[in-house]
Chains A and B, each alone.
Chain A
Amino acid sequence: MAAAAVPTTNGSATRRARWTYSDRILSRPGAYVDEEDGFVPGEAPITSVENARILVIGAGGLGCEILKNLALSGFKKIDVIDMDTIDVSNLNRQFLFREKDVGQPKATVAANFVMKRVPGCTITPYVGKIQDKDQDYYLQFNIVVCGLDSIEARRWINATLVDLVDMENPDSLKPLIDGGTEGFKGQSRVIFPTMTSCIECQLDMHAPRAAVPLCTLASIPRQPQHCIEWAHIIKWEEERKDVTLDTDDPEHITWLYKKALARAQEYNISGVTYSMTQGVVKNIIPAIASTNAIIAASCCNEAYKIATTCAPCIGMPGQNNYMLYTGDTSVYTYTFEHQKKDDCPVCGNLPKDLVVNPTSTLGDLVESFAERPESQLKKPNLRSEGKSLYYSSPASLMAQTKGNLVKPLNELLSDGEEIAVTDPAFSTVFKYRVHFS
């Protein structure tokens, strides 16, 4: 019977030779899943892995690991986004890159390397920002895996995937798997947008970047990093105010390095180097290859389980969704359920539908808020994404926006647009999606 489970369709019988052993997981009943969970051992889960479209965001330290793991797990349709080019300092851990690749885009080089090593796997690179892509682009994928070092980018993709969820379309729900590392520490988490705690709900898990007091930089530098920050924050402003600092421009880094070095000598501080300057200015977080490997492995196993249902994944509603790994004081790992926040600005508070007469005025709407039982607003501030509609505080904005009160709504808003209403009397934000009657 085992032979029957090895598919021979789509070409040669050796098509899945590389995955003979992992296919056994998919072609035998699972210990913790059954048909009720949607797991039917055999061809179906194998096809799921082959056909799943996976988006990998980031082709750096984590991204290299993630792309390699996904391809070797049998995923065949992968896209990767990264805006960076390869720097010589990446080569120690970003193992898909070689010295000859320095200066080339990470996404392209990583895709080509993995495709060469794993025939049959197609990786489509995009060199650019995640913000370049629209909702239709993200709708193509089944699972999104992030290996990013930026909180801003995480928040953006999180909000985008929450927005994407459309009750008419089951495929609009994209599981988001997020990995992150910092030195010996890391985390992997699974998010089902709108259903479970999202990245915005979990923002308190990221400590704000540690900063040195400005006056320490100006008055008593004690470490080489202080001299670099001084050159970066104070000296650049002073001497090159009209030039926008480009942290990828070697001339700019050299300038900062020289200023920092001179200051360090003045205060008898040693240790300022060009690469330290680059690290401090670009806020490069120390990365350890094996921490990346641990976290990426966990992210990719979750992707595999989600795509195939062969074993329970983390992140299901009411279950653990966050795996924390700490290797800096011995080894500790802990998996827990980070709770969804009811007042999360991204997923907690979905807009209520509000039907309005398009020719009624904004003033009418504000008045109706004062009467609505759930709001009863006294000093509201109202805006859409692009427009400050009416602000009762501060005084200057009130003066600038009160003219809108007499305007008809269809002059200020478009049908279906979202507005956010706040009031000092309420800690929550009221969101409405305005529909014209």
Chain B
Amino acid sequence: MLKIWSMKKEQQKSEVAAGSNKKKVTSAQLRVQKDLNELSLPDTISTHFPNPDDILNFVLTLTPDEGFYKGGVFTFTFAISVNFPHEPPKVTCNEKIYHPNIDLNGNVCLNILRQDWMPVLDLNAVIVGIQFLFLEPNAGDWLNKEAADDMKGDRERFYRNVRSAMAGGTVKGETFKRVLKAKPGEKA
């Protein structure tokens, strides 16, 4: 042990002092901060941090301006564990939605949130992935079977059902909440 300490002192000459009892920024925080630096969000996506000091938990709001879900407002809770980026962020949709890849409890089927997650992926990749699910729902990999079958069977009918769910209607026995963005001058 004496030898290792003399090596340490040798090495230290070229470095600055370490060691302090003060709390250090954690590696998960560092990585999320870096990812936030590199976010490039389109106008249709915004973030909200309920506690701005806690960057590991935030809400993403998506307001698609094209596709089946145009005009809707959808929010996603991002919960990032201290094990990030070793583990993917946990993402759930807060609104009940009629979507082949999102079940009625808000679970999201996106490959990079689960089986294809890699620590080199960043929050931008996850957000792009979610955005893509709204432009191109994938009836092949479904979480909501009825929505997937509907979409595979007749895209027109699926579109009408999506719109009626978003307007707060009932689709196949499930009642949805209205998630349409209020137009200027319209009551929310």
Query: How many residues on the A side are at the interface (Cβ–Cβ under 8 A)?
Result: 80
Q: Are B16 and A351 in contact (CB under 8 A)?
A: yes
Interface of B is mostly: loop
Query: Closest 7 A-B residue pairs measured CB to CB?
Result: A166-B19, A385-B23, A215-B141, A345-B27, A400-B52, A420-B25, A170-B5
Give CA–CA (A388, B55) in the complex, Å: 8
11 sampled A-B residue pairs with Cβ under 8 A: A165-B8, A208-B117, A219-B143, A237-B107, A350-B17, A353-B16, A385-B22, A385-B24, A392-B37, A414-B22, A418-B20
User: Does B47 belong to the interface (CB within 8 Å)?
Assistant: yes
Measured in the bound complex, the distance between the Cα atoms of B19 and A165 in whole Å is: 5
Contact A208/B118 with A218-B103, A306-B1, A383-B55 known, Cβ cut-off 8 Å:
yes
Nearest A residue (CB) for B7: A317
| Contact yes or no, A396 B3, CB < 8 A | no
Query: Which chain A residues border B52 with CB–CB below 8 Å?
Result: 388, 397, 400-401
Is B105 located at the chain interface by the 8 A CB criterion?
yes
Name the contact of B25 in the complex, choosing from A170, A307, A383 (C-beta under 8 A).
A383
Given A385-B25, A391-B33, A431-B25, 16 more contacts at CB 8 Å?
A167-B12, A172-B19, A173-B4, A195-B4, A195-B8, A213-B109, A214-B143, A215-B141, A306-B1, A316-B7, A384-B25, A397-B36, A400-B49, A420-B30, A422-B37, A423-B37
Decide if A43 is an interface residue (CB 8 Å cutoff).
no
Within 8 A of B (CB), among A382-437: 383-388, 391-397, 400-401, 414, 416-420, 422-424, 429, 431, 433
Shortest C-beta distance, B41 to chain A (Å), equals 6
Collect the chain A residues with CB atoms within 8 Å of residue B188's CB. Answer: none
Q: Does A203 contact B (CB under 8 A)?
A: yes
CA distance A57 to B26 in the complex (A): 21
A192 at the interface (CB under 8 A from B): yes
B3 to chain A, nearest CB (A): 5
Q: Across the interface, which residues of B come within 8 angstroms of A155, CB to CB?
A: 27, 83
Smallest Cβ-Cβ distance to B40: which chain A residue: A393
Residues of B within 8 A of A401 (CB): 52
**B27-49 CB contact bits vs A (8 Å, 1 = yes)?**
10111011011110100001111
B8 in contact with A173 (CB, 8 Å): yes
Which residues from chain A sit less than 8 Å from chain B, CB to CB? 37-38, 135, 142, 151-152, 155, 159, 162-167, 170, 172-173, 175, 192, 194-195, 200, 203-204, 206, 208-215, 218-219, 233-234, 237-238, 241, 306-307, 309, 316-317, 345-346, 350-353, 379, 381, 383-388, 391-397, 400-401, 414, 416-420, 422-424, 429, 431, 433
Q: Does B70 contact A (CB under 8 A)?
A: no
A108 to B29, CA, bound (A): 35
Range for the number of chain B residues in contact with chain A: 35 or more
Assuming A422-B34, A423-B37, is B109 touching A218 (CB within 8 A)?
yes
Asked whether B86 is an interface residue with its Cβ less than 8 Å from the other chain, the reply is: yes
Q: Which of B5, B24, B107 contacts A163 (CB 8 A)?
A: B24
Q: Is B145 at the interface (CB under 8 A from chain A)?
A: yes
Given A163-B20, A170-B5, also A385-B29 (CB < 8 A): yes
A379-B37, A383-B33, A424-B38 are known contacts. Are A159 and B25 too (CB-CB below 8 A)? no
A201 to chain B, nearest CB (A): 11
CA distance A165 to B20 in the complex (A): 8
B interface residues (Cβ-Cβ under 8 A, vs A): 1-5, 7-9, 11-12, 15-27, 29-31, 33-34, 36-39, 41, 46-49, 52-53, 55, 82-83, 86-87, 101, 103-105, 107-109, 111, 113-115, 117-119, 141-143, 145
- A188 to B66 alpha-carbon distance, docked (Å): 54
Are B22 and A417 in contact, CB atoms less than 8 angstroms apart? Answer: yes
Q: Cα distance A212–B117 when bound, in Å?
A: 11
List the B side residues contacting A309 at CB < 8 Å: 1, 3
A396 x B48 contact (CB < 8 A): yes
B4 touching A152, Cβ below 8 Å: no
Q: Contact at A416–B22, with CB atoms within 8 Å?
A: yes
List chain B residues, Cβ under 8 A from A192.
Answer: 4, 8
Which one, B11, B27, B37, contacts A424 given CB within 8 A?
A: B37
Report Cα–Cα, A393/B5, bound state, in Å: 43
Smallest distance from the beta carbon of A124 to chain B beta carbons, Å? 22
How far, in whole Å, are A215 and B23 apart by their CA atoms in the complex? 41
Residue in A151, A234, A384 whose beta carbon sits within 8 Å of that of B107 in the complex: A234
Q: Please state if A206 and B86 are interface contacts (CB–CB under 8 Å).
A: yes
Q: Are A418 and B22 in contact (CB under 8 A)?
A: yes
In the docked arrangement, what's the CA distance between A346 and B26, Å?
Answer: 8
**Complex CA–CA separation, A208 to B20 (angstroms):** 32
Chain B residue at minimum C-beta to C-beta distance from A151: B86
A192 to B18 alpha-carbon distance, docked (Å): 14
CB pair A214 B46 closer than 8 Å: no
Residues on the A chain within 8 Å of B114, using CB: 211-214
Q: Which chain B residue lies CB-closest to A200?
A: B27
| Shortest Cβ distance from residue B34 to the other chain A in the assembled complex, whole angstroms | 5
CA distance A401 to B52 in the complex (A): 8
Task: Determine the chain A residues whose CB is within 8 A of the CB of B83 once the complex forms.
Answer: 151-152, 155
